[in-house]
Amino acid sequence: MSDVLLVEKEGNIATVTLNRPEAMNALSRELRAAIAVTFDELEADPDVRVVILTGAGERAFTAGLDLKELGSGGGNFSAQDTVTDKDPVTSIGKFSGPVIGAINGVAITGGFELALACDVLVASENARFADTHARVGILPGWGLSQKLSRLLGIYRAKELSLTGNFLSADRAYEWGLVNRVVPQADLLPTCKQLANDMLSVLPDALNAYKALIDEGFAQNFGDALKTELRVSAEANKKVQSSAIAERREGIQKRGKSQV
């Protein structure tokens, strides 16, 4: 594994760390490729069911594309350099289990897009988000222009993208962009606890439910309801009623133990 990306496996959880803290974890060509390859490998690993994605240090999740590297190449900026079949966002999206984004610092432009590729976002108090595509004169190619408006509403999305202003962790929570904000020291422990909560559900159901939510989210509401009806009818007929009763009993016992 490249030094620019660290992978630590603990049971069924893999923690992937962007490891260029001296460059605010900027997405160099090497790091982009490493993310894509790593997530392809994790998808092929049957032991890995949940992934936590974070950045090294406390300053940055990732500051986005490595502008120094892009500038040193000369010539015009090429979207093909960042938008390919093996780009990191596409590979993250192909991972069938949940991906928890542990946003430890700033997530800027391409880094914002990387964060939005995750299924759940937990932010430290140091986290901030910014879409600066318009400030540097390029347009996004990893989904930000479409995802953000669907997550925040079109007016808030336009405010962020058309100004390039930063969004604080607390405001991101208020707007529903992140699930929770925690102290920096609690970030990874919180994400690992959340991962373990996800691991407590049935493996097939975990992946199938994520896929169902994602498929429906990409459709209009009417088509999404039809998708749910079709998918649930196919999946639920495979489950025996006795098994459902047994699982419900186990859920009730677990709920009482958490009171």
CATH of the domain at 90: 3.90.226.10
The confidence score (pLDDT) of residue 258 equals 63
Identify whether residues 111 and 221 lie together within a single domain. no
C-alpha–C-alpha distance, residues 70 and 68, integer Å: 5
Ramachandran bin of 57, using left for φ above 0, alpha for ψ from -120 to 50, beta for the remaining angles: left
Owning domain of residue 218: 203-257
On whether both 148 and 223 belong to a single domain, the answer is no
What is the rounded distance in angstroms from the CA atom of residue 231 to the CA atom of residue 223?
12
Considering the domain architecture, whether residues 184 and 223 belong to the same structural domain is answered as no
How many CA atoms are closer than 13 Å to the CA of 204, on its beta-carbon side?
5
Instruction: Say if residue 223 is in the same domain as residue 243.
Output: yes
Global pTM?
0.89
- Of 183, 199, 215, the residue at which a domain comes to its end is 199
Q: What is the mean pLDDT of each run of 10 residues along the chain (259 residues)?
A: 90 98 95 96 98 97 87 50 69 97 97 98 98 94 95 97 98 98 98 98 95 96 97 85 54 57
Q: Are 125 and 167 within one domain?
A: yes
Taking residue 141's Cβ as centre, other Cβ atoms within 10 Å add up to 17
Q: Give the pLDDT confidence score for residue 71 in this predicted structure.
A: 63
Q: Which two tokens stand for residue 61?
A: 């999740």
Q: For residue 90, what pLDDT is reported?
A: 95
- Identify the pLDDT of residue 80: 47
Domain shared by 26 and 152, yes or no: yes
Q: What is the model's pLDDT at position 74?
A: 44
Query: Please, what sign has the CA dihedral across residues 75, 78, 34, 125?
Result: positive
Residues 40 and 158 in one domain: yes
Q: What is the pLDDT of residue 86?
A: 67
Residues 131, 157: contact at Cβ < 8 Å?
no
Same domain for 109 and 178? Answer: yes
pLDDT at position 251: 57
7 to 19, 20, 41, 55, 89: CA distances (angstroms): 10, 14, 11, 11, 17
Same domain, 239 and 111: no
Residue 180 CB coordination number (10 Å): 13
**pLDDT for position 75:** 42
- Number of separate domains in the chain: 2
Last residue of a domain, one of 149, 171, 199: 199
Structure confidence at residue 237 (pLDDT): 84
Domain ends where: 161, 182, 199?
199
